[in-house]
Structure formats: C-alpha cells, structure tokens
Amino acid sequence: MAVDVILGLQWGDEGKGKIVDYLADKYDLVCRFQGGPNAGHTIVIGNDKYVLHTIPSGIFRSNITNIIGNGVVIDPITFQREIEKLESAKINYKNNLLIAKKAHLIIPSHRWLDAASEASKGISKIGSTLKGIGPTYMDKTGRNGLRVGDLFSSDFQEKYNLLKEKHMGILNGYPDVDFDIEAEEKKWFECIENLKVIPTIDCEYYINKAIKDGKRILAEGAQGSMLDIDFGTYPYVTSSNTITAGVCTGLGIAPQKIGEVIGIAKAYCTRVGSGPFPTELHDETGEKLRKLGHEFGATTGRPRRCGWNDIPQLKYTIMLNGVTQIVLTKLDVLDHFDQIQVCESYNINGTNTNSLPYDLNMDGITPKYTSIKAWNCSLDLINSYADLPDEAKDYIENLETMLETRISMVSTGPERHKLLPK
Ligand code: GDP
Ligand code: IMO
Ligand code: MG
C-alpha cells in the first residue's frame, strides 16, 4: 500500500490534528515525519480536548500503531508531559507507540540557544516557539546531534557533555537570557528514563516492511508548507521540510511510495510568529476572525495573526506538495460575515501575478481581492454537505475552481464528528 500524507497548506495550525484523528480509523499506522514540540495538534473528543506536540494524532485509536519518525526532534520533557496527560485520561499508548532510533534529541541547552539566538535578533526575531527546534536541527545537519538510539549507548553521558560544552561556547557570543540549566538538566535526565521505556525501531525498515505487508499508512505533518525551510517565507520559517518531500526523508521511504496527499487549509488564513503575510488583516475583521476562530496558539498561547485566503499562496503549496485533495477547516468561523474576501492574485509594483515572488517580505505587494457572498447563519446543526447553505457551497466550489483541486471534506467545528465529506 502507498503512504498517504496529511499536511498543512498555510502557516500551520490548519487543523491537521483533528483531521488525522478523524481519518486515522482507516489506517494501520500513523507516523509523524518532521518537526517537534513546536507543533500543537488539537483533538476534541466529546468534552475532552487534547493537545499533542510530539505524539502522532492516531494515539486515541487503540488499534493503530503510532510512530515518531526519524525526521522528528524529541524533547523528553515535553514528551513526558504528553504521556502524563494521556495516562490521566486513561488513553492506552503503551502498546501502540514506537520511536525511530534515528530521531534527534532536544537537550536543554538547545532551548537555551534558541532563546539566546532570538534575543540577539531583536526586532528581526523569527518568533520561534523557543522549543529548541532550530538549534537541534542545526546540530543534526552539523553532525553533532544526539539521537534516541544514543540513549542506550554506554558513553551517552560523555556524548551529552560534549554537545553541552559546545553549546556553552556558542552561548558566550550571545546576549544573556534567563535559563536555569541545572534545573532543566535534572528534569531532562529524569525524563529520558521514561522515554527509554517506549520501544524504539529502525523506522525505515519497519515502514517499508509495513508497506510490503499491505498495511495502510498515514504520514502526519507538522507546521505548514509556508514554514518549510526551503520553500517557506525564509528566514521566517521552521527548520525542517514540512512538505511532502519531508515524508521520504523523515520516515525513510521512496517517493513512489507516496499515495494521496491531503492538504489541510483553513477557510481563511492565520500565521503565528514573525514574517510576511500578504492578506493579513490589521482591522476589526482580523480581530473578528481571531475571536470567532479562537485563534491563539496551541503551543505558546500567542494570538495568531488572521487574514483572508490567498490563492497564489495556496496554489504554490498545492504545487510543492502534489496535493490530490484538500480538506477545508473552520468554515463555521465565517458564519457571521456578509461577504468573504479571497486574494485571487498579487499586484507587484504594477504587474499582476499568480506567482509568489522570491521574497514575500518585499515592499509593493498588493493582494487583489474578489468578494464572495457569505451565508450569515450558523452551520452548527448541518450534518451533510448537501445541507450547507448555497452560499457556503458557492464559496467552497469557487475555491476549488481557483485552486484547480478537489475539496474532499469540510470541517465545521473542532469536534470529531463535525466533518462533512463532499
Ligand atoms: P494543527 O496544528 O493543524 O493541528 O491545528 P491546531 O490544533 O493548532 O489549531 C486548530 C484549532 O482549530 C484547534 O483549536 C482545533 O480544535 C480547532 N478546529 C479544528 N477544526 C475546526 C473547525 O472546523 N471549526 C472550528 N471552529 N475549530 C476547529
Ligand atoms: P503546528 O504543527 C504554527 C512557527 C513559529 C515561528 C516559526 C519558527 O501546530 O501547525 P520554531 O519554533 O519552529 O523555531 O518557530 O514557525 N511555528 C508554527 N506556527 N503552527 C505550528 O505547528 C508551528 N511550529 C512552528 O511560530 O514563527
Ligand atoms: Mg497547531
């Protein structure tokens, strides 16, 4: 069987967690392939709300194996908190969670470096979640990192000390930031004992065998395509490949093994942290979207920047990912609008274009909007696509035409059941 993929088409927080949890039922394996505790994937089941950072969103279904792939970076402290929450909710993860030996570890001084690096940037800061993501991936590509498999080697403490010493040297060149390294290290070493209890695997062999055995596999992305290290709004990006290509390197599978690519997009657009966002609304409409959409970060609690959907941006990420279908989320957030705006093209210094410029941060980009009549009523009790108001169907079908891609499902609320197949 091929590996299907779920990933974000905007700047993250598109509702990936909800859709993975919903679709997980159809799969045998759910695998995270990149990112780390910078992610916050929210899942609402009945009256309970869970936010996962490292653990795949298939964990609530006991018959599914969940894999944290080699492309992921793991902080044992966050990981333990996640496990504790699952335990207190009586979710049994013990028999269905596996970790790739080649996944890299975030150590406390990575978080310290993240904070110091951001402090040194002043107003040009990335707006990082400060979870140590950038410094950990830098050590991975710089060939200095520590991996989960190293936890079991007899010279682990030595390897740890070497890496920490290297960090201490770099920190000398950065501004001072508050960080209690001793307390954080104490916690970290306690938490690795719990991490070591989770079975580890050679992810690439495990997944390729599963493919051969006909298992159905879903790869779960974190962040969004516009935060991709190569193709996102650099330098205001994260430090991993968030696009479909990242599935191959993050799990150890070949490109031809990729099946459906399900792109998740909100019915509008949000971004958290710094960086360009052409359709951002700085007015009361942006505030209304934030309020109705509860647009506050699942990991940091920061208010998310809000704006309208951007067709050139979405077409770009559909192209990069080879998206075969879109799931449109948070349609209900637009329940109280008369008109919805969609940016159909950019005017860049007098020239109309559908392409993203090299630097989206450049001056002179003016989004050109088209206005679509909204439904202005609640979608709360709608249980099927056919029952959606005509204006809502018009909006969805207009998006499909502009994006030249099928929208296969529409989400109308945070809860599991609020998903309408089209
Ligand atoms: P992720 O990082 O892509 O998994 O998304 P987040 O969990 O960070 O943010 C999505 C937020 O929107 C969460 O609070 C979800 O519970 C919520 N959500 C998901 N789908 C819908 C929807 O269709 N309508 C509404 N109102 N909320 C939704
Ligand atoms: P999920 O998986 C939204 C943003 C940060 C910052 C930039 C770099 O929940 O969609 P980092 O901590 O990686 O150094 O931050 O990326 N960012 C996210 N924004 N959703 C996320 O994940 C994000 N993960 C990182 O706000 O701008
Ligand atoms: Mg999130």
- Read off the pLDDT of each residue in 229-235 and give the average, rounded to a whole number: 98
In short, whether 210's Cβ falls inside 6 Å of ligand 2 is no
Query: Cβ distance 11 to 236 under 8 Å?
Result: no
Which residues, 6+ apart, have CB-to-CB distance to 151 below 8 Å? 105, 192, 195, 196
- Atom 8 of ligand 1: nearest residue by CA position: 13
Which residues, 6+ apart, have CB-to-CB distance to 234 below 8 Å? none
> What pLDDT is recorded for position 331?
98
pLDDT tier for residue 299 given thresholds of 50, 70 and 90: confident
pLDDT at 376 over 90: yes
In short, whether 12's Cβ falls inside 6 Å of ligand 2 is yes
pLDDT tier for residue 252 given thresholds of 50, 70 and 90: very high
- Atom 27 of ligand 1: nearest residue by CA position: 414
Q: Which ligand is nearest to the CA of 20?
A: 1
Ligand 2 atom nearest to CA at 274: 27
pLDDT at 87 over 90: yes
In short, whether 16's Cβ falls inside 6 Å of ligand 1 is yes
Query: Cβ distance 129 to 107 under 8 Å?
Result: no
Tens-digit pLDDT profile for residues 169-190: 999 999 999 999 999 999 999 9
* Cα 218 from chain centre: 15
- Of 269, 244, 219, 228, the residue nearest 14 (C-alpha): 269
13 is a catalytic site residue: yes
Annotated active-site residue in 13, 75, 139, 228: 13
DSSP type of residue 278: T
Q: Alpha-carbon distance 266 to 244, whole Å?
A: 19
Burial (CB < 10 A; 0-12, 13-18, 19+), residue 284, is exposed
pLDDT at 24 over 90: yes
How would DSSP label each residue in 120-158?
A: HHGGG------SSHHHHHHHHHTT---BGGGGGSTTHHH
In short, whether 242's Cβ falls inside 6 Å of ligand 2 is no
Ligand 1 atom nearest to CA at 294: 14
Tens-digit pLDDT profile for residues 262-280: 999 999 999 999 999 999 9
pLDDT at 406 over 90: yes
Query: Cβ distance 54 to 18 under 8 Å?
Result: no
* CB atoms closer than 10 angstroms to residue 370: 13
> What pLDDT is recorded for position 1?
80
**What average pLDDT does the structure give for the chain?**
97
Annotated active-site residue in 4, 21, 41, 114: 41
273: region left, alpha or beta (phi > 0 left; psi from -120 to 50 alpha):
left
> What pLDDT is recorded for position 351?
95
pLDDT at 363 over 90: no
Cis previous bond, 235, omega within 30: yes
Helices (H) and strands (E) in the chain, counts: 11, 20
pLDDT at 322 over 90: yes
* Residue among 41, 227, 239 to mutate when testing ligand 2 (max atoms within 8 A of CB): 227
Query: Cβ distance 411 to 328 under 8 Å?
Result: yes
Structure tokens at 148: 């989960």
- Read off the pLDDT of each residue in 17-38 and give the average, rounded to a whole number: 98
